[in-house]
Amino acid sequence: MAKQINPTRMELTRLKRRLKTAARGHKLLKDKQNGMTKKFMEQIRFNRRLREQVEAELSDAARQFRSASSVMGEKELAEALMLPAGEIGVVGGSDNVMSVRVPTLSSDGSLAGTLPYGFADTSPELDAATLSMVKLFPTLLRLAECEKTCDMLAAEIEKTRRRVNALEHVMIPEMERNIKFITMKLEDNERQNITRLMKVKDVINAR
Amino acid sequence: MNEKKLKAAVIGDRAVTALYGAAGVSVFDVTDSGAVPKLISKLYGEGYGIIFTAEKLYKSCEGALKKYLTDPYPIVIPVPDETSDGSYSKERIAANIKKAIGSDLI
């Protein structure tokens, strides 16, 4: 607060330097926030479309799976899927969005079109369900990447907004108030000094 | 940009996981939501970067999963199960928009 600071020229210089840094930081953070918001809006629209698509396709695959289960029987189905064809390959990296590290994913397609069972005791519905899941996997990866990016950007935007608001509404106004207080105090001291000198001069002249 | 091989896993009950298992995703049959955060942490340690979690389980331990928000990996996302009606994913998207912008504009 203005009452607790030292009204000296040194303090005034320090405060002015801090105000300049804070104003520059505020501008940078505001630019970062705007950049992130722009990217976030693109991603969230894409996320919404992708979610709807994935949920519809998953529901189709689940329906085919249920139908396979009713044709083959629970036990036979469990037996057919007991051993997976292998682990699906995913390559993960990261990208930089306004200094936020977000994930990037891609499938290496190692299991595309592979069925984990023989055709002797299985139904065509199971083949269709399995193949549609394999086909859907790259889209699932895109959804995972997009949702994580949205989650991370939303958290970072919220954090940046708080910092921007703190600078804009608390720190910068407080520093400006303090600078004004010190300037007024120094001017007041200057006037007191001049008055004192004039008084001394008058006393000397009166002798 | 460092690229690395990751593994994918799915957590949920048999009805949800069987489909993913057929596609080559490692399956972890879990019905107790209390065990999920520990399992995710263990799986991440074993190289699983993408963890699909049944919506019901994800909802019940959402708070514990917030710690993964600051790093790109692991990616933990909810996938629909037999209880889903599509509203939870919409709620999540709306919550993210509200968090980032202040109100749900879209």
Nearest Cβ partner for A147 among B7, B8, B77? B77
> Any alpha helices (H) in chain A, and if so which ranges?
9-72, 74-80, 124-166, 172-206
Q: Is the pTM of this model over 0.95?
A: no
What would the pLDDT profile of B67-89 be if each residue is shown by its tens digit?
Answer: 898 899 999 999 988 777 878 88
| Chain centroid offset of residue A168 CA | 20
pLDDT of residue A123: 74
Helix or strand or coil: residue A92? strand
CA distance A47 to A56: 14
pLDDT of residue A75: 73
Per-residue pLDDT of chain A (207 residues; tens, 9 = 90+): 545 889 999 999 999 999 999 999 999 999 999 999 999 999 999 999 999 999 999 888 888 888 887 877 777 777 767 666 667 778 899 999 888 999 999 887 665 556 666 666 677 777 778 888 888 888 999 999 999 999 999 999 999 999 999 999 999 999 999 999 999 999 999 999 999 999 999 999 998
Classify residue B87 as exposed, middle or buried by CB count within 10 Å of its CB (0-12, 13-18, 19+): exposed
> Any alpha helices (H) in A73-99, and if so which ranges?
74-80
pLDDT of residue A2: 47
Nearest Cβ partner for B20 among A37, A77, A133? A133
Neighbouring residues of A98: CB distance < 8 A, sequence distance ≥ 6: A32, A35, A36, A39, A156
ipTM of the complex: 0.92
Query: For B7-101, which CATH superfamily applies?
Result: ATPase, V1 complex, subunit F (3.40.50.10580)
- Kindly list the residues from chain B whose CB atom is less than 8 angstroms away from the CB atom of residue A101: 71-72
Q: Which domains does chain A have, with CATH numbers?
A: 2-200 (1.10.287.3240)
CB contact under 8 A, A148 and B97: no
CB contact under 8 A, A65 and B4: no
Backbone angles phi, psi at A92, to 5 degrees: -115, 140
CA distance A58 to A144: 14
- Kindly list the residues from chain A whose CB atom is less than 8 angstroms away from the CB atom of residue B21: 81, 84
CA distance A193 to A186: 10
- B-proximal residues of A, 106-165, CB under 8 Å: 111, 114, 116, 126, 129-130, 133-134, 136-137, 140-141, 143-145, 147-148, 150-155, 157-158
- Kindly list the residues from chain A whose CB atom is less than 8 angstroms away from the CB atom of residue B80: 55, 58-59
CB contact under 8 A, B49 and A95: no
Residue spans of the domains in chain B: they are 7-101
pLDDT of residue B34: 87
Closest Cα to residue A100, out of A141, A50, A44, A150?
A150
Residue of A nearest to B14 (CA): A78
Closest Cα to residue B99, out of A163, A31, A43, A158?
A158
**Quick check: bond before A173 cis, omega within 30?**
no
Residue with tokens 């490692």: B26
Lowest mean pLDDT, pick from B3-12, B45-54, B83-92: B83-92
Q: Would an 8 Å CB–CB cutoff place B63 in contact with chain A?
A: no
C-alpha distances (whole Å) from A162 to each of A15, A85, A158, A182, B34 are: 22, 49, 6, 29, 33
CB contact under 8 A, A85 and B106: no
Best mutation target, A32, A36, A49, A51, to test chain B (most B CBs within 10 A):
A51
Highest mean pLDDT among A64-73, A177-186, B10-19, B49-58: A177-186
